[in-house]
């Protein structure tokens, strides 16, 4: 939905006024499973990407907090640790995101994930999978900094003793995801344009070939939609991120609690 709603020059058949209308129209005209197209490639990359992401975050957060605030909870440490963890996460997820978004476009020419990978590799080269990497990082570094700082701040407010409390992790994760998603929507719109290389949009502003670079993407989005163009799909983005971050944090905190408890039991 987010990919479709961020389209800057959508096909008349793919113009949507709201998230609900978009979902209803896609299901009725393109089939029940169409909104989930490309999800398999995301799932494939998500496991290793999140493993590196949380492992790096936990290690850096502890080291930096010890240095900056002598073992206390430092918001600066949380923000830096989240930003560095993003570098590893996005190196795995960027190609998966390119394939997913191309398969989710209206009238996508790709029949399967493998067909999409082969065609992009053959026609645009390996660099196409990382064309939006700098934009992704430029977006995700502030996103993750805001996300981790908000999560840790929420935990301080509703779970000050930092015990395992599923409800507090879900609420903190959802709030952190919503705040970070809303704040970084303009960068996400630019990333979507770089990933999809939307032909109708690019030709309408006389851009031949491929659009590359965040600065060019920013200019193109403004030419096509003005200031409001930067906030296309903000609802879909917030709705998608809230459960996503809530689930990620609750699963992470559960395994952290489970493994720590198991370790202590083994020692005793």
In a domain, 184, yes or no: no
Mind listing the pLDDT tens digit for each residue in 220-232? Answer: 889 888 898 888 8
What span, in angstroms and rounded, lies between the C-alpha atoms of 254 and 240? 22
Domain of residue 18: give its range.
Answer: 1-37
Mind listing the pLDDT tens digit for each residue in 107-163? Answer: 666 667 788 888 888 888 887 888 878 877 887 888 889 999 999 999 999 999 989
In a domain, 176, yes or no: no
What span, in angstroms and rounded, lies between the C-alpha atoms of 227 and 80? 30
Number of independent structural domains in the chain: 2
Q: Are residues 21 and 85 in the same domain?
A: no
Rounded to 5 degrees, φ, ψ at 5 are -75, -20
Residue whose tokens read 């999978």: 129
Torsion of Cα atoms, 35 then 41 then 45 then 47, to 10°: 70
Nearest to 14 by CA among 104, 88, 92, 79: 104
Of 135, 160, 185, which closes a domain?
Answer: 160
For the chain, where are the E strands, in sequence order?
none
Q: Which of 34-43, 174-183, 187-196 ranks highest by mean pLDDT?
A: 174-183
Q: Has this prediction a pTM greater than 0.85?
A: no
Find out whether 220 and 193 touch, Cβ atoms under 8 Å.
Answer: yes
- Residue 242: pLDDT over 90: yes
SS3 15: coil
Q: What is the CATH number of the domain that holds 132?
A: 1.50.40.10
Q: Are residues 4 and 27 in the same domain?
A: yes
């Amino acid at each position: 939905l987010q990919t479709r709603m961020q389209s800057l020059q959508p096909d008349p058949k793919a113009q949507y006024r709201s998230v609900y209308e978009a979902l209803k129209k896609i299901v009725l005209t393109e089939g029940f499973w169409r909104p989930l197209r490309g999800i398999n490639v995301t799932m494939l990359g998500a496991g290793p990407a999140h493993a590196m992401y949380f492992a790096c975050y936990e290690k850096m957060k502890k080291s930096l907090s010890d240095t900056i605030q002598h073992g206390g909870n430092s918001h600066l440490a949380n923000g830096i640790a989240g930003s560095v963890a993003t570098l590893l996460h996005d190196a795995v997820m960027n190609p998966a995101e390119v394939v997913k978004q191309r398969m989710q476009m209206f009238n996508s020419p790709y029949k399967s994930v493998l067909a999409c990978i082969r065609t992009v590799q053959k026609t645009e080269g390996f660099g196409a999978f990382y064309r939006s990497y700098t934009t992704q990082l430029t977006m995700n570094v502030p996103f993750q900094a805001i996300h981790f700082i908000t999560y840790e701040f929420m935990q301080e407010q509703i779970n000050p003793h930092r015990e395992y409390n599923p409800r507090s992790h879900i609420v903190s994760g959802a709030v952190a995801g919503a705040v970070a998603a809303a704040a970084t929507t303009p960068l996400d719109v630019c990333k979507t344009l770089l990933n999809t290389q939307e032909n109708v949009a690019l030709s309408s502003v006389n851009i031949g070939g491929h659009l590359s670079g965040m600065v060019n993407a920013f200019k193109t989005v403004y030419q096509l939609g003005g200031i409001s163009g930067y906030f296309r799909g903000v609802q879909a983005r917030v709705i998608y991120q809230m459960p996503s971050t809530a689930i990620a944090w609750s699963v992470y905190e559960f395994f952290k609690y489970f493994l720590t408890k198991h370790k202590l039991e083994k020692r005793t």
